[in-house]
Amino acid sequence: MSLVNYSVKERVGYITLNRPDKRNALSHELVHDLKEAFSRAETDASIKVVVLNANGESFCAGADLAYIQQLQNFTFEENLADSKHLKELFLQIYTLKKVVIAQVQGHALAGGCGLATVCDFTFSVPEAKFGYTEVKIGFIPALVAVFLVRKIGEQKARQLLLTGEIIKAQDALSRGLISKVVDAKDLEASVFDFAQELVRNNSAQSMQLTKQLIADVQSLSLHDALDLATSVNAQARATEDCKRGIAAFLNKQELRW
């Protein structure tokens, strides 16, 4: 059985966690397969938007318990290599050239909450719970902290990361952690409809450049960020999508991307 499934529907690529018996817990192999799937999605010309979803009752329960036991016997070098393995996945999703939507049908905890955090949008059922529970077992949410502070700000991130608090979807929405709460019966359709809006109405090149700019400007000073934005602005004007979009606008033509 594949740990990760890959499918395409009307220009939307689906990357599906497929360890339902283990609550889709993250193992070294699962992280590897996710990295391969996202690499495939990034270069797949048939898709424009990516959805990360999961089979079973849980979205992702974090690290696999058997794997956590193995970590106790790792050397520092082995733990460093393993940490880099997960870092590469989080960074890959965060900087992917295509928009990534997390479709959360069940609990997303620890590393699983990290997966949802690094996606561009997260749709969740009301029953799902979110939390970075690492501090409760003597571990730290090190990698996700970098992304979470960017996403919701330092104070809100401190509250979640230092307490290990588990919160419901509506609370996660109010804190800016997720994008939308949808009834379970409507989740799949809502995510697909939203993905289709992006597919039909937005330029792929524009979304890619915008994602990259958002990721890059946050570590820069105001002046450096504006200099970068100015450069990206000029770069965007030279793209084929921009030329096509402006021509359609001026000619009052309907444009479907």
Is the confidence at residue 154, as pLDDT, over 90? yes
Asked whether 117 and 125 are in contact (CB, 8 A), the reply is no
CB-based burial label for 168 (10 Å; 0-12, 13-18, 19+): middle
d(CA 229, CA 203): 18
For the chain, give every domain's residue range: 4-199, 203-250
- Residue-wise pLDDT tens digits, 210-219: 999 999 999 9
- Residue-wise pLDDT tens digits, 210-254: 999 999 999 999 999 999 999 999 999 999 999 899 888 888 888
Name the token pair of 133.
């529970």
Is the confidence at residue 141, as pLDDT, over 90? yes
Under CATH, which number does the domain 4-199 receive?
A: 3.90.226.10
Catalytic residues: 134
pLDDT computed for residue 228 by the predictor: 95
Tell me the pLDDT band of 71, cut-offs 50, 70 and 90: confident
User: What is the number of other CB atoms lying within 10 angstroms of the CB of residue 39?
Assistant: 12
Collapsing DSSP to helix, strand or coil, 4 comes out as: strand
The pLDDT of 42-49, averaged and rounded, is: 98
- Residue-wise pLDDT tens digits, 171-181: 999 999 999 99
Percent of the chain scoring above 90 in pLDDT: 87
Is the confidence at residue 88, as pLDDT, over 90? yes
d(CA 60, CA 106): 8
Tell me the pLDDT band of 130, cut-offs 50, 70 and 90: very high
pLDDT computed for residue 251 by the predictor: 86
Collapsing DSSP to helix, strand or coil, 108 comes out as: strand
Tell me the pLDDT band of 66, cut-offs 50, 70 and 90: confident
d(CA 116, CA 213): 20
Under CATH, which number does the domain 203-250 receive?
A: 1.10.12
pTM for the complete prediction? 0.94
Tell me the pLDDT band of 39, cut-offs 50, 70 and 90: very high
d(CA 189, CA 195): 10
Is the confidence at residue 64, as pLDDT, over 90? no
Collapsing DSSP to helix, strand or coil, 54 comes out as: strand
What spatial distance separates the first Cα and last Cα of the chain, rounded to whole Å? Answer: 36
Q: Mean pLDDT over all residues of the chain?
A: 95
Torsion of CA 70, 74, 79, 81, to 10 degrees: -100
User: What is the number of other CB atoms lying within 10 angstroms of the CB of residue 182?
Assistant: 21
d(CA 102, CA 116): 6
Is the confidence at residue 94, as pLDDT, over 90? yes
